[in-house]
Amino acid sequence: MPDLKDIRDRIRDLNGKMAHGLDAAIDAAALESFRVEYLGRKGHLSQLFKLLGDVSPEEKGEAGRLLNELRDGITGAFEKRAAALSASSLRDRLLRESVDVTLPGVSRPVGHLHPLTRVQREIESIFLRMGFDVATGPEIETEYYNFEALNIPADHPARADWDTFYISDTTLLRPHTSPVQIHVMESTSPPVRIICPGRCYRRDAQDATHSPVFHQIELLWVEEGLSLANLKYVLELFTREYFGPGYTMRFSGDFFPFTEPSVQVHIKAPGATHWLEIMGAGMVDPAVLSGVGYDPEKVSGFAFGLGIERMAMLKYGIDDIRAFLTNDLRFVRQF
Ligand code: DAH
């Protein structure tokens, strides 16, 4: 039968063990093991309380008081330890996650549009202001849209000028944006007033002025009563807007199967001595108009096709077309 002395001895033992146990509880998991071992339902403390039943009635009061004191002591020490641990882990976290706002930041470079995109948008905006709409067409074309509908029959030598990449016997990567004219005219009735920017492909060896992939902008205006004079006026407006005032313009005869007459357009910078070719153009051939169901006796039209790369090269003095597609940031950043 345990007496008061036994209880006191055990309390002293447990107090000693407890102090070590708490010191060893250096993290949340260890602290939880401590709680189970000392304060849990089957822990050291409740084992001691069980002895109380066997203590003699005279000593029971004092033994009970001592045990309560022990329980309060262990609980208090446990709580203090728990508070200290969570404070230090918070401090650790704050230290770990702190941000030094005085360090120089990571600066993300601001991108900008590629020079070709810029030139394309600039040209588009000039014609949008004149009342044209922007139309697009497929880059993989059928022979019909690329050639026949543009008045270039199968055996016509002009096909050689657009020698290109065939996907199958009857489909090919378009070598010009002119087939978009046909798509648009087939699906609308006059008046038609559009420009068509887009990528084109030709079986050209790459050099400073040729690239197998390049971009064109096509223009088409079909309405009653249009003449070469209207074409000239539109081009004069365009040249002034795009290149600036003071440029002179010259038409010379050319041949395209889809225009009659066909012209080559040259411009000359103020003070310059040589002419620069900027595009092919002409009055839409009556055969093309009747091919899409228009009446060439009633409506007439004009068209042109210009190279976007060439426009950019002329305006910015770029002398190698390959610079546009080599992804060299030193080049791209200049614009
Ligand atoms: N499609 C021609 C080419 O790629 C350019 C061209 C010339 C387009 C005259 C036209 C035009 O619309 O009328 O070389």
Sign of torsion over alpha carbons 207, 210, 211, 214:
positive
Say if residue 230 is in the same domain as residue 311.
yes
Ligand 1 surroundings by CB, under 6 angstroms: 176, 178, 218, 256, 259, 280-282, 303-305
Q: How far apart are CA 78 and CA 18, in angstroms?
A: 9
In a mutational test of the pocket of ligand 1, which residue from 203, 256, 263 has the highest number of ligand atoms less than 8 Å from its CB? 256
What is the predicted pLDDT for the residue at 151? 95
What is the distance in A from the centroid of ligand 1 to the CA of 168?
24
Q: Which of 162, 176, 213, 265 to mutate to test the pocket of ligand 1 (most atoms within 8 A of CB)?
A: 176
Report the pLDDT value the prediction gives residue 264, as an integer from 0 to 100.
97
pLDDT of the residue at 335:
84
Q: Which residues of the chain have pLDDT under 70?
A: none
Any domain includes 132: yes
Predicted confidence at residue 194, as pLDDT, reads: 98
Residue nearest to atom 8 of ligand 1 (CA): 305
Q: How many CB atoms lie within 10 A of CB 62?
A: 13
Domain shared by 224 and 125, yes or no: yes
Contacting residues for 311 by C-beta, under 8 A, at least 6 apart: 119, 123, 242, 278
The domain of 155 spans: 115-332
pLDDT at 27: 86
- In this structure, which residue's CA is closest to atom 3 in ligand 1? 176
Helix, strand, coil abundance in the chain, percent, nearest 5: 50, 20, 30
Token pair 């067409």: residue: 137
From ligand 1's centre to the CA of 313, what distance in Å? 19
C-alpha 280 to ligand 1 mean position (Å): 5
Residue 240: inside a domain: yes
Which ligand 1 atom is at minimum distance from the Cα of 176?
4
What is the whole-number distance in angstroms between the Cα of residue 264 and the centre of ligand 1?
Answer: 10
Together in a domain, 306 and 221: yes
C-alpha closest to that of 304 among 268, 279, 278:
279
Query: Tell me, what's the pLDDT at 87?
Result: 85
> Is 231 exposed, middle or buried, given 0-12, 13-18 or 19+ CB atoms closer than 10 A?
buried
Give, using CA atoms, the residue closest to atom 7 of ligand 1.
280
Q: What's the structural domain count of the chain? A: 2
Same domain (yes/no): 60, 166 = no
Please indicate, yes or no, whether residues 139 and 247 belong to a single structural domain of this protein.
yes
Q: Is 135 found in the same domain as 93?
A: no
Atom of ligand 1 at shortest distance to CA of 302? 13
How confident is the model over 177-225, as pLDDT tens digits?
999 999 999 999 999 999 999 999 999 889 998 999 999 999 999 999 9
Q: Are 254 and 280 in contact (CB under 8 A)?
A: yes
DSSP conformation letters of 203-255: -PPPBTTB-SEEEEEEEEEEETT--HHHHHHHHHHHHHHHH-TT-EEEEEEEE
Same domain? For 142 and 33 the reply is no
- pLDDT at res. 4: 86
Q: Of all atoms in ligand 1, which is nearest to the CA of residue 306? A: 5
19 C-alpha vs ligand 1 centroid, how far in Å?
95
In a domain, 57, yes or no: yes
Give the nearest ligand 1 atom to 175 CA. 4
Please tell me whether residues 32 and 180 are part of one structural domain: no
Predicted local distance difference test score (pLDDT) of residue 255: 95
- For 299, residues 6+ apart whose C-beta sits below 8 A from its C-beta are 190, 191, 222, 223, 224, 226, 289
**Burial class of residue 179 (count of CB atoms within 10 Å of its CB; 0-12, 13-18, 19+):** buried
Q: How far is the CA of 135 from the centre of ligand 1 (A)?
A: 16
Answer yes or no: do 45 and 178 share one domain. no
Is 105 among the domain residues?
A: no
Longest dimension (CA), the chain: 132
Ligand 1 centroid – CA 259 distance (Å): 8
Chosen domain end from 40, 66, 97: 97
Look at residue 159 in the predicted model and tell me its pLDDT.
83
Q: What is the pTM of this model?
A: 0.70
Name the domain boundary from 52, 69, 97. Answer: 97
Is 18 part of any domain? yes
Q: Measuring from atom 4 of ligand 1, which residue has the nearest CA?
A: 176
Residues 55 and 63 sit within 8 Å (Cβ to Cβ): yes
Are 169 and 278 in the same domain?
Answer: yes
Same domain, 141 and 55: no
**CA 156 to mean position of chain CA atoms:** 44
Compute how many other C-beta atoms are within 10 angstroms of the C-beta atom of residue 188: 14
- How far is the centre of ligand 1, averaged over its atoms, from the C-alpha of 58 (Å)? 119
User: What pLDDT score does 26 carry?
Assistant: 86
C-alpha distance from residue 224 to each of 191, 227, 325 (Å): 8, 9, 42
- Kindly report the CATH number assigned to the domain that includes residue 198: 3.30.930.10
How are strands ordered across the β-sheet holding 213-223? 133-134, 192-201, 213-223, 300-307, 276-284, 259-268, 248-256
Alpha carbon nearest to ligand 1 atom 5, residue: 305
Flag whether 296 is in a domain. yes
Quote the ligand 1 centre to 68 CA distance (angstroms).
103
Question: Residue 284: CB partners within 8 Å, gap ≥ 6?
Answer: 181, 220, 222, 258, 259, 300, 301, 302, 303
| C-alpha span between 95 and 97 (Å, rounded) | 6
Statement to judge: residues 312 and 164 lie in one domain: yes
Contact 120, 63 (CB under 8 A): no
